[in-house]
Chain A
Amino acid sequence: MTTYTICIFTENTIGLLNRITIIFTRRRINIESLTVSETERKGISRFTIVIKHESREEVEKLVRQIRKIVEVMAVFGYLNDEIVYNEIALFKISTPLGRKSLDVETINKVHKAWVVYWGLDYVVIEKTGNDTDIRAFFDYIEQYEILEFVRSGRIAVGKTEKGLVEYLPEAEWAYYQ
């Protein structure tokens, strides 16, 4: 199983998320994570979808099917080494009186994580990084009581010099080049 990151640039319209995910569902491809945000160009949204698949060919077909959606402007499928990517995780850690105190120095310096909220008997720690970084921090912080843990989907930018949005709307995939 190889991880693929699919970046989709679309017009920002109602129902588009549904239209895109239907294509995955129909081919029985599970979505590992999905993030949507507006790009630097107003009215254009960027979907970052992570999937795992055995066959590059199938992923290419998937990309082409997504490209067919009328509102989709461009689709790029990436392998991990072709992108810079990150995720963000929030940990809600219990800090009742009398419990061993958090080692903030290790949290900050070793794990590059930050306390972003202090509650009465808990704190919220933010950790950004890739899957491995977050997993490592999880393993470390587990010694304290984790009340809640949430991780975002992956966000990614391609490693080419040009910004992807510069390609828009002329951006086309292989057969259009």
Chain B
Amino acid sequence: MEAVANAPETLEIPTIPTYINGSHALMQTLVAEGVDTIFGYPGGAIMPVYDALYDFQERVNHILVRHEQGAGHAAQGYARMQRRAGVCLVTSGPGATNLVTPIADAQIDSTPLVCIVGQVAKKLLGTDAFQEADIMGVTMPITKWNYQITSADEVPEIIAKAFYIAQSGRPGPVLIDITKSAQLELMTKPYVYKKCESIVSYRPRMVAKQEQVAAAAELINAAKRPYILAGHGVQIAKAEDELRLLAEKTGIPVATTLLGQSTIPTNHPLYVGWLGMHGNYGPNVMTDQADVIIAIGMRFDDRVTGDASRYIKQAKVVHIEIDPSEIDKIIRADAPVVGNAKDVLEALIPLVHPNDHTIWRNEFRKYDIIENETITVPELTSKDGKIRMAEVIDMLSTKTKGEAVLVTDVGQHQMMASRYYQFRRPNSLVTSGGMGTMGFALPAAFGVQVGAPDRQVVAIIGDGCFQMTLQELGTIVQNKQPVKAIILNNNFLGMVRQWQQLFNERRYSFVELQNPDFITIARGFGMDGQTCRERDDLSNALDTMLAHDGPFLLEVIVEKEENVFPMVPAGASVSQIRLT
């Protein structure tokens, strides 16, 4: 990488005794940071960078999306697979504001992004110039850090800093606003790239204090009914092995959050299911029985806790978390451990005593039986009516042997995908958790496929969600990425409809959709697809999709008014979970 960074700029005309311009400095720094993929969309205020990019095509794969939001979500998908920053490059004004949703999504789901956005020339700042938006002001509350570059000399240092901040500690999105004048002007000194390795005012703690780890171990060792809640932080820290080792040594049951799914295989004997509003029955209600909760890399989201004032009141809490501001934010921790999940678990495992909590673990099973009888089995075996979402996911799970990466949108299909897919490999669920961004899945699945070319990528999308970002079919086709997309079509905004049915006396207020012919749309983009209406055709349809060389859209017409259960109604405690 050093060699590349220091390589002379080949297209610089030698007769001009000057240094490179801001745009070339930017490209060189991106290459030096190891960037090989950029998701972007050109426009006026970023054109100098695109001109420099023209010279870097061999080293950097720029992917032209169809909408800047698509660039953002694709970069998120890419980042989650690569577990390093995804890069977006867009223009000022509307280009930048179109990135706002993915940035907010990345912030709340701790996804590292470096978003480089053009800005009007320095002398035009604040004049309401064409395509000028105060994107610094707009993104300040939803970025981990943002910065406006107004001179070419700042470029190498600031870009290096952007990557360091985005990727270190609790990852997150960074936005760099770069004026057109800074892109065009020449540096006044030789270009030097230096990797950012620390910032005086920003020092994320990775390795926990020994006394905090010891205090956590003490609580765990004394516990009679300990219970591990594993979140996204485990995945971000690549601590899947450590999580498994901790659980296996201590015999402690493990539940995951929505984003923590696939950190432990679903067939692992210590895995009990997932938490949350539509999570499994046992894992939710058993939080009320545990005497020690070991929360790892999770933040007690309200979808996990239900009414937080009635959540795990009886338990002592060990909270392992990289972000100190999450400690005591929702649930008071008796043993807070600030650090990276991997480092903390490595330190913790030797301190915990081997144990066997079989009797305690078996208590989860009686809830599993109830859930199976009332929900799972009927959903999977009902032969009347239209196809159920559960059947599609279950069959997909079997056919892919649980090894695909599932990318899901937001709503009923998202919850069903989580309920019925049997994850076997780590890092296999990419979904918009905290923000709940409809339209996330299609562009994110594209980014996931780019970031993990050797994995089978299947997007599970609702008919409503699909219509928010369907233009990215064009990106998928143009880049020949073999993304498989399944639309679970119930002609409804299903989750909202479910709430209206349960809580608003079936007053269905603007939730029914008149949908287009999705397959015709896919074909229009040059993508193959088919519709499956009958239960008997489902298996063949999935086989066709999975065997297809290249991208494929499978529309499955599902039961119109199906509900997702279990469900913890908003504001209720987790023990008030409903099965019907």
Interface residues of A (CB under 8 A from B): 10-11, 14-15, 18-19, 22, 26, 57, 60-61, 64-65, 67-68, 70-73, 169, 173, 175-176
Q: Shortest beta-carbon distance, B106 to chain A, in Å?
A: 16
Inter-subunit contact B324/A67 (CB<8 Å): yes
Q: Can you list 8 pairs linking A and B with CB atoms under 8 Å apart?
A: A18-B137, A22-B141, A57-B328, A61-B329, A67-B325, A70-B201, A175-B336, A176-B324
Inter-subunit contact B140/A18 (CB<8 Å): yes
Inter-subunit contact B201/A68 (CB<8 Å): no
Taken residue by residue from 516 to 557, chain B's Cβ proximity to chain A (1 for < 8 Å, 0 otherwise) reads as 000000000000000000000000000000000000000000
Query: Which has the most chain A C-beta neighbours within 10 Å: B145, B199, B200, B205?
Result: B200
Q: Which residue on chain B has the smallest CB distance to residue A25? A: B141
Q: Shortest beta-carbon distance, A27 to chain B, in Å?
A: 12
Report the bound CA distance from A61 to B326 in whole Å. 9
Q: List B338-364 residues whose CB lies under 8 Å from chain A.
A: 338
Partner of B338, one of A18, A70, A175: A175
- Please tell me if B144 contacts chain A, counting CB pairs below 8 Å: yes
Inter-subunit contact A176/B205 (CB<8 Å): yes
Inter-subunit contact B140/A169 (CB<8 Å): no
> Given A67-B325, A72-B201, A175-B327, 19 other A-B contacts at CB below 8 A?
A11-B200, A15-B136, A15-B148, A18-B137, A19-B140, A22-B141, A26-B141, A57-B328, A60-B328, A64-B324, A64-B327, A68-B323, A68-B325, A70-B145, A70-B199, A70-B202, A73-B200, A175-B336, A175-B338
Q: A70-B199, A175-B336, A176-B205 are in contact. Are A61 and B328 (CB under 8 A)?
A: yes
> Inside 8 A of A19's CB, which chain B residues have their CB?
140
Report the bound CA distance from A3 to B137 in whole Å. 29
> Inside 8 A of B325's CB, which chain A residues have their CB?
61, 64-65, 67-68
Report the bound CA distance from A60 to B332 in whole Å. 12
Inter-subunit contact B201/A11 (CB<8 Å): yes
> Inside 8 A of B145's CB, which chain A residues have their CB?
70
Q: Shortest beta-carbon distance, B115 to chain A, in Å?
A: 16
> Inside 8 A of A57's CB, which chain B residues have their CB?
328
Interface residues of B (CB under 8 A from A): 136-137, 140-141, 144-145, 148, 165, 199-202, 205, 323-325, 327-329, 336, 338
Q: Shortest beta-carbon distance, B25 to chain A, in Å?
A: 21
Report the bound CA distance from A18 to B146 in whole Å. 12
Closest 5 CB pairs of A and B: A64-B325, A73-B201, A175-B324, A70-B145, A70-B202
Q: Shortest beta-carbon distance, A60 to chain B, in Å?
A: 7
> Inside 8 A of B328's CB, which chain A residues have their CB?
57, 60-61
Inter-subunit contact A70/B165 (CB<8 Å): yes
> Inside 8 A of B165's CB, which chain A residues have their CB?
70
> Inside 8 A of B137's CB, which chain A residues have their CB?
18
Q: Shortest beta-carbon distance, B210 to chain A, in Å?
A: 13
Report the bound CA distance from A18 to B136 in whole Å. 10
Q: A61-B328, A175-B327, A176-B324 are in contact. Are A71 and B136 (CB under 8 A)?
A: no
Q: Which residue on chain A has the smallest CB distance to residue B170? A: A68
Q: Shortest beta-carbon distance, A142 to chain B, in Å?
A: 41
Q: Shortest beta-carbon distance, A121 to chain B, in Å?
A: 41
Report the bound CA distance from A67 to B203 in whole Å. 11
Q: Which residue on chain B has the smallest CB distance to residue A73? A: B201
Q: Shortest beta-carbon distance, A62 to chain B, in Å?
A: 10
Q: Which residue on chain A has the smallest CB distance to residue B201? A: A73
> Inside 8 A of A60's CB, which chain B residues have their CB?
328
> Inside 8 A of B336's CB, which chain A residues have their CB?
175
Q: A169-B200, A175-B338, A176-B324 are in contact. Are A70 and B144 (CB under 8 A)?
A: yes
> Inside 8 A of B199's CB, which chain A residues have their CB?
70
Q: Which residue on chain A has the smallest CB distance to residue B337? A: A175
> Inside 8 A of A18's CB, which chain B residues have their CB?
137, 140
> Inside 8 A of A176's CB, which chain B residues have their CB?
205, 324, 338
Partner of A71, one of B201, B205, B324, B338: B201
Report the bound CA distance from A10 to B316 in whole Å. 36
Report the bound CA distance from A175 to B325 in whole Å. 10
Report the bound CA distance from A8 to B350 in whole Å. 39
Q: Shortest beta-carbon distance, A124 to chain B, in Å?
A: 35
Q: Which residue on chain B has the smallest CB distance to residue A9? A: B201
Q: Shortest beta-carbon distance, B233 to chain A, in Å?
A: 16
Q: Shortest beta-carbon distance, A177 to chain B, in Å?
A: 9
> Inside 8 A of B202's CB, which chain A residues have their CB?
70-71
Report the bound CA distance from A67 to B326 in whole Å. 12
Inter-subunit contact A10/B323 (CB<8 Å): no
Q: Shortest beta-carbon distance, A55 to chain B, in Å?
A: 12
Q: Which residue on chain B has the smallest CB distance to residue A177? A: B209
Q: Which residue on chain B has the smallest CB distance to residue A71? A: B201
Q: Which residue on chain A has the smallest CB distance to residue B137? A: A18
Report the bound CA distance from A118 to B148 in whole Å. 46
Report the bound CA distance from A15 to B165 in whole Å. 18
> Inside 8 A of A67's CB, which chain B residues have their CB?
324-325
Q: Which residue on chain A has the smallest CB distance to residue B338? A: A175
> Inside 8 A of A73's CB, which chain B residues have their CB?
200-201
Q: Shortest beta-carbon distance, B21 to chain A, in Å?
A: 23
Report the bound CA distance from A61 to B332 in whole Å. 12
Q: Shortest beta-carbon distance, A10 to chain B, in Å?
A: 7
Q: Shortest beta-carbon distance, A42 to chain B, in Å?
A: 13
Report the bound CA distance from A76 to B494 in whole Å. 48
Partner of B201, one of A14, A22, A61, A169: A169
Report the bound CA distance from A72 to B144 in whole Å. 12
> Inside 8 A of A72's CB, which chain B residues have their CB?
201
Q: Shortest beta-carbon distance, B180 to chain A, in Å?
A: 19
Inter-subunit contact A15/B324 (CB<8 Å): no
> Inside 8 A of A61's CB, which chain B residues have their CB?
325, 328-329
Q: Which residue on chain A has the smallest CB distance to residue B174? A: A70
Report the bound CA distance from A160 to B358 in whole Å. 53
Q: Shortest beta-carbon distance, A136 to chain B, in Å?
A: 40
> Inside 8 A of B141's CB, which chain A residues have their CB?
22, 26
> Inside 8 A of B140's CB, which chain A residues have their CB?
15, 18-19, 22
